[in-house]
Amino acid sequence: MQPAYGGYQPYTAQAPYPGQYYAPAGYTNGYPNGGTYPDPAAAYPAWQNAPQMAPATGQTPMARPQQLYDPQMPQRQPSNSGGTPMPRPKTLNTKTKPALKSAMKTPSRSVSDPMGFGHRPRTQSDPHGTLKQFARARTNSVTARDIPDHLFFSIVGTSELRVQNVRPQLRNDLKQLIGTMWHPGIESEIMGPNHSWRVKFAKAPWSSVGTDAIMVLRMLNQFFNRIKMYYDFGTTLNSGLNPPRLVFVQAAEAGIWLNHFVAYFSRNGRKLTLVDPPAHVGGEIGARLRTAWPHKVELTDRPPDGGIYTVSLRGTYGSYDQHLFTSYALQEIRGLGFKLLATIPLAKRGSFGMGSRREVLVFQDMMIDSPSRPTQ
């Protein structure tokens, strides 16, 4: 048996718990069978004075840790079984479900609110108060569903263009075209409510003549090319509206490029001018009309202004039906693969249109295979 340390009594099966020992009755010397239990100090008298083993070189002897009592530290409660104490079972009320702790907390504001918006009382409706002010802040953000799918295009007076329900991308495209194709530029530009766009040109493009008129026609042709990438032409509204408005409907498939060209009749209706038509249209329209009206149609080309084709009736030809000549011209152009898409009303003064009506004809490629058209 190893010697006891620090005066502790060695453990035996009959050793009682530490503390005061009460000898059982019936034993004279406190031990059963009349035996004696030796005193550790008497059994090992030299143990207290025995030299202790010196620690090895470079090794620090470990001191026995002493447990200090701190009244502020929580003391561990002893368990009666020596193991981990069983958690206390929770009792739930089957009638009422206990509330969550997060719902019982009171929120505290750590950020100052000098305007007092955070302390505004909750109301059911506030059509004219602060809620309307908050909702109005989002009107500047333009989304696709904020803009109607119908676009209105109109030419006002001699120098103004108006477009309603225009998308920002299309507006930027049209503005870029104006800057590159109309050299006098723009006097003013106004973005009105409901996505309306109003442009006032320098000089008077809609009543121009000569080379400026050709420039205007080409600009209108490019307007249609750009608009048709986003919209399809619907109709022209001329009932009680001054000026008339061209109506476009949002295209089912955006980004499709279609060829267009413009044309106009002279005031007396005896001459048709085509601006930048495809080569096969400009080269064959005169021959087709001459076949329909032998010895009555003459051709006039303008080499300085490339892309300009003119077909007119001879001056020696007497009375004629103005509508008949117009019908034949539209018929032959359609036979070459282009249909009359729209007419653009212009100012009363100018060189476009027959009689007192000034308008530009817009033709669009029908995208069909025609025997008169060269195959690509």
pLDDT at residue 220 in the model: 94
Measure the CA–CA gap between 60 and 152, rounded to whole angstroms.
96
Highest mean pLDDT among 41-45, 65-69, 117-121, 365-369: 365-369
- Decide: 274 and 282 in contact? Cβ < 8 Å: yes
Digit-coded pLDDT (tens) for 250-281: 988 776 778 899 999 988 888 899 999 998 99
Question: How many other β-carbons are positioned within 10 Å of the β-carbon of residue 279?
Answer: 10
pLDDT at residue 209 in the model: 85
Between 226 and 323, whose confidence is greater? 226
Measure the CA–CA gap between 251 and 232, rounded to whole angstroms.
5
Given CA atoms 47, 51, 56, 59 in this order, what sign does their dihedral have? positive
Q: With the CA atoms of 209, 214, 215 and 220 taken in that order, what torsion angle do they form, in degrees rounded to the nearest 10?
A: 110
- Decide: 342 and 360 in contact? Cβ < 8 Å: no
Phi then psi for 121, rounded to 5 degrees?
-70, 145
pLDDT exceeds 60 at position 294: yes
pLDDT at residue 74 in the model: 60
Q: Mean pLDDT lowest for which of 7-21, 66-80, 109-123, 289-303?
A: 109-123
SS3 (DSSP) at 38: coil
- Decide: 245 and 153 in contact? Cβ < 8 Å: yes
pLDDT exceeds 90 at position 199: yes
**Tokens matching residue 102:** 């997060």
Give percent of the chain above pLDDT 70: 52
Region 195-213 average pLDDT:
90
pLDDT exceeds 60 at position 119: no
Region 298-302 average pLDDT:
61
pLDDT exceeds 70 at position 39: no
Domain architecture of the chain: domains with CATH: 150-250 (3.30.70), 260-365 (3.30.1360)
Instruction: Tell which residue, 63, 245, 251, has the closest CA to residue 170.
Output: 251
Q: Mean pLDDT lowest for which of 20-34, 45-59, 127-141?
A: 127-141
Q: How far is CA 245 from CA 4, 158, 213, 229, 279, in A?
A: 115, 15, 21, 19, 31
- Please state the pTM of the whole predicted model: 0.57
Region 1-25 average pLDDT:
55
Residues with Cβ < 8 Å from 67, sequence gap 6 or more?
none
